[in-house]
Amino acid sequence: MCGVCGCSDGAEEHVHERNHAHAHAHGERAAKLQLRGSSSLKIEQALLNKNQRFAEQNRAFLAARSCLAINLMGSPGAGKTALLEAIVRRAPELQLLVLEGDQATERDAERIRKAGCRALQINTGTGCHLDAHAVGHGLATFAPEPGSLIVFENVGNLVCPALFDLGESARVVVLSVTEGDDKPLKYPHMFRACNVLVLNKLDLLPYVDFDLQRATDYATQLKPGLEVFAVSATRGDGLDSLSNWFRSRGAAR
């Protein structure tokens, strides 16, 4: 439910497990923000505050089980799922679980399962991001083992996902070289909100106009101290370093 963009109006959210056993997390109907001025802002803030309460519940749920969560964000096609597939295969010792967010289909969850990791799918319908209420239902369905590292792969979008805390301990944004090196300037809130930037699809650099240093500079000016990894999920460049970052999150529990 998004009070900022008005998505998920009347939509259901579905949490799917393997073999189509599923739990339904029915999102409340989003308020139609037809008001103007301060009334609209008050409704938006109330929705964000409600989401924050669910996020804190998720954080407490995870802490009680000595688990940590990572919110993985980026545009459609940035390579989020491909990165997760590669990390699952490179770091099999991690107790990694993946909660997949998409408007429709279970395709990404199926890909993660084939890579060797348990996955749940949340379909948001018309919703353009995961929210903490739906994620809470997913966590309850997961029933993660103590010490698990859980990745929330958010719906592909560089706007709304950055506004909604899900109960994660770290945020990662994936930017592919096919998207343009000016994206941090165009979507500053996303890059300010993240702890890690992954510049993906290095194998395509010879074919696109993308300056790695310029993209890095734009992002780190917005978020000093931002960790940056340059990788190719398909060719393998930089994946050892990124996998080690995921290992470090697992060790931080």
Helices 80-90 and 107-115 cross at an angle (nearest 10°) of 20
Token code pair at residue 186:
């165009």
pTM metric for this prediction: 0.88
Cα distance between residue 105 and residue 97, in whole Å:
19
- Across the chain, mean pLDDT equals 89
Instruction: Report the pLDDT value the prediction gives residue 46, as an integer from 0 to 100.
Output: 87
Stretch among 2-11, 93-102, 218-227, 234-243 having the lowest mean pLDDT: 2-11
List, for residues 126-165, the tens digit of each pLDDT value: 999 999 999 999 999 999 999 999 999 999 999 999 999 9
Nearest to residue 153, comparing CAs of 69, 58, 251? 69
Q: Is the alpha carbon torsion for 22, 27, 29, 30 positive or negative?
A: negative
Instruction: Give the CA dihedral 153, 159, 163, 168, nearest 10 degrees.
Output: 20
Q: What confidence category does residue 14 fall into, taking pLDDT thresholds of 50, 70 and 90? A: confident
Domains, the chain = 13-251 (3.40.50.300)
